[in-house]
Amino acid sequence: MQPLEAGEPRTIGAYRLLGRLGAGGMGRVYLGRSAGGRTVAVKVVHPHFASDTEFRTRFRREVEAARRVGGEWTAPVLDADPEAAVPWVATGYVAGPSLDRAVAGHGPLPEASVRAVGAGLARALVAVHGLGLVHRDVKPSNVMLTLDGPRLIDFGIARATDGTASLTSTGVSIGSPGYMSPEQILGKGVTGASDVFSLGAVLA
């Protein structure tokens, strides 16, 4: 966790921010605490996205998707304000390193651990796909390792697969190179099979 810098918010919604956990293409993630003492992860989008109507729609979909999945294999959504001047979402804080940091710091996982992580992530994807969703960004940095098993986080580019219109134009690929399925790289329609391909790349 990094200390808050000048210009960064000290509170978001009802949460006091304690430090910055990380940053990505969509925004920054902070460690926060509620008035009741609960520790949360607060994701705040970059300000320049706030005026983008399409992005707000996508962010609203992210929140809805994460709420539907729940928290058994993911970080549960506790609070959100997609309509705020700068949209944000608060999820339960998952204590534990991400898979990429664990491997970078300690080397490849033992075979038994790889099997356990793979089994947990497979169950997570069964839950995600059972709700008609595709995660579309299964990668080591989106896998948190906890004492209770792995957690799949960041539904920032998840999309419904129930036949509704996509927010991503055909021919445009979204995901993380190195873990994307061939159809995802080509910008074609993706199904749960694409997540399974990405899971295989994560475990390889």
**In sequence order, what are the beta bridge partners of 2?**
20
Is the C-alpha dihedral spanning 199, 142, 82, 123 positive or negative?
Answer: positive
Where residue 10 falls (left for φ over 0; alpha for ψ -120 to 50; beta otherwise) is: alpha
User: Of the listed 52, 81, 137, 162, which one is catalytic?
Assistant: 137
- Return d(Cα 58, Cα 38) in angstroms, integer: 27
CA-closest candidate to residue 136, choices 106, 111, 166, 112: 166
Whether 43 has a binding-site annotation, put simply, is yes
Contact 115/58 with Cβ under 8 angstroms?
no
Phi, psi (deg, nearest 5) at residue 183: -65, -30
Contact 89/67 with Cβ under 8 angstroms?
no
Active site residue 137: yes
Catalytic residues: 137
Binding-site positions for ATP read 43
